[in-house]
Each structure stands twice: as C-alpha cells, then as structure tokens.
Amino acid sequence: MQKTVYLVTGAAGHLGTALCEALHARGENVRALVLPGDAGAARLHADVFYGNVCDRASLAGFFDVPEGVRSILVHCAAVIDIGGAPSDMVYAVNVEGTRNVMQLCLEKAVSRVVYVNSVHALPPRPFGVVRREVDAYSPDMVEGKYAKSKAMAASLVQEFVQKGLPAVTVQPSGIIGPYDGGNNHLVAMVIRYLKGKLPAGVVGGYDFVDVRDVADGILAAAEKGRVGESYLLTGGFYSVREMLGLLASLTGKRRVPCVPVWLARLAAPFSELHARRKKQRPLFTAYSLRVLRENARFSHDKATAELGYRPRGLDETLADTVSYLRRNGILGEGGKRRGGRISLGAARPAPVR
C-alpha cells in the first residue's frame, strides 16, 4: 500500500490541533506547519516544521516529501479578525499565503488539497432563505476585511483548480469545542462565563459547529470530496441566550442576561479598547455584533450526502469543552496548566467518519 503523509498548515491553531489529533488517532503520518516560536507546537501529535505561509522559502522542508509518498495537504492557516481595526496581516496570510501554498501544491504535485475557507465568504441572504454553497465569490458582496479576504482566497483556489490543482474547499461556520485555551473567540466567551467574568451576552445568534466535526469533515473531503467543489461544514443555529443557558444547565452556574444589540454597540468601542490594553481579544465588536444579527441559517445537506458529515449537538460540544478546560487547568480550578500533550479527560473522542 502506498504511504501517505498529511501536511497541515496552521497546525497549532484550534482547528489545526483538532485535525492533528484526529489524524493521530487514525495512525496517519502527519506534518504540522507552525510559526516559529509558537508554543502550541509542543502539544501536537505530529512532526513539526517551522515556517510562514507568507514566506515561500520557509516552506521548502515542509513540502519536501520523499518520492513515492502520497501527500494530502490541508490548508488551515488563516488570520481570523472580528475587530474593526485594519490589518494588512489578514490579506497577507489569507490571500497571499494561500496563493503561496496552492502554488507549491501545484509544483510539488500534491495528491489532494483541502482548503479551509469560511461561511463568511458567502454572500448574504435574506432571512427565511437557507444559505448553501455557491459557485462564485465576490469580495464586494461581503462586509469586513476577514470576509473579503476569504472570498478572494476562495476565488483564488478556484483559479488553481482550473490549472489542474486537485483541490476541495470546505467552509465551517462558528467553530467551538475542545483543544483551545481561549484564542478562539467563542471558547474565550465560555472561559469568561465559567470564571464569572461575563456580565452579559447579546441578543442574536449564529451557526455553531464542533471543531472535531469540522476535522472529520475535512478528512472526509480529502477522501470523498469532488475536485473543485465546496462543502459547508456547519452545525446548527443557536442564539447566544441558548448557548449560555446550556452552559448554566451543564455547570450549575448562574445565568447571565443578554442585552440588545443597540446597547452592545454603544459599549463595543470601549470593550475593544479595554481588550487591547489587557492584550486580550474582544468578545463583541462592531463586526461580530453585525454577524449575530444576520441570517445564519446554513445547510450542510451537501456535505452530509456526499461526505457522510453529521455534526453533533451543541450540548455535547459544550460539555466536552468545559471538561477539556477543567482537565487542562485552563480555568485555574485544577492547579497548573499542563505544558505537554493536551488531555480531553472525560470527553469522548470524535468518531472517524
């Protein structure tokens, strides 16, 4: 049987870590591309390569696969920015970094590419209309630097498919779940709630999906996805009130109120300023508040039909997230945070689909 190696960019991020864990559980050979100096590299069950997708030269060793070995690349590396401040890094990583990676995949004859895009690249649809996959993308039809960069990158990958790149695109919604200590905005909200530092939520909602289900969806796309196609890897729509209510039921902690968006908008600039001073990520920004009021009803029917994708419910995801945070000392409830391999504790590993 021909040997296979999985190449994962952005491997130290939330999704990248979950993907490496899923591949490790399957006994696969994994190479993880991590930024130099990223402490998250020590937690990965993978062969770590240091590099930056914005620097083609730094990727040489990562792509240097022995002859006769089949390579599958998953491009997770991205800058997620829900803030209003302009950031050249968003474009540099999400667009030009993707260009570098796709070009190298073409040159190195990578067997299969799965590009992790986002539902933010999809054009908005009116309420009452279920949002599905699209054939073309336009940065002019979406708002926000992050969404525009993802729309541009999705179009870029389509161009490489026309050049012969065997690429498939997946588009997750709001990722949440284990394997993150607070860099993910949604996990950060869970942490603040559990520590009693979340004074209120916001009226509104979004589609939330378990990071492990996205990882499984990516692997299914690598195996079964049709070249040139895109697949929505979404979960289900929940209001912020429902999410916080589930957390309260799971933990026995007090429920927090949800304030109207107009009130949250008044506080957003001060919240962002306070977060920057504390060197934290703001939970609610002008951009995120707008997203919470948009139509976030997505269909993953295509992924279910073609990839066998079946996401779990948010209650299970939140229970496993709380377990992970406690078992790894992230909440300060169980001593020092572990510096080695991550532990899910009582959380159930996701099945390989």
Q: pLDDT tens-digit profile of 144-194?
A: 899 999 999 999 999 999 999 999 999 999 999 999 988 898 999 999 999
Give domain status of residue 114, yes or no: yes
Give domain status of residue 186, yes or no: no
Determine contact, residues 208/176, Cβ cutoff 8 Å: yes
Give domain status of residue 173, yes or no: yes
Q: What is the CATH number of the domain that holds 111?
A: 3.40.50.720
The residue written with tokens 């279920």 in the block is 130
Q: What is the DSSP string of 274-303?
A: HHHHTT---S--HHHHHHTTS---B--HHH
Give domain status of residue 330, yes or no: no
Give domain status of residue 270, yes or no: no
Give domain status of residue 44, yes or no: yes
Based on the structure, what is the number of domains in the chain? 1
Give domain status of residue 198, yes or no: no
CA distance 285 to 269: 7
Report pLDDT for 81: 79
Report pLDDT for 237: 97
CA distance 325 to 341: 14
Q: pLDDT tens-digit profile of 26-51?
A: 999 999 999 999 988 988 999 999 99
In order of 81, 146, 223, 296, the CA distances from 87 in angstroms are 8, 9, 35, 25
Q: pLDDT tens-digit profile of 244-292?
A: 999 999 999 999 999 887 777 776 666 666 666 766 666 677 777 788 8
Give domain status of residue 128, yes or no: yes
pTM for the structure as a whole: 0.91
CA distance 156 to 288: 26
Q: Which domain holds residue 140?
A: 4-180+209-237+297-317
| Percentage of the residues of the chain whose pLDDT score is greater than 90 | 77
Tokens of 329: 């000392």
Closest CA to 152 of 165, 136, 168, 166: 136
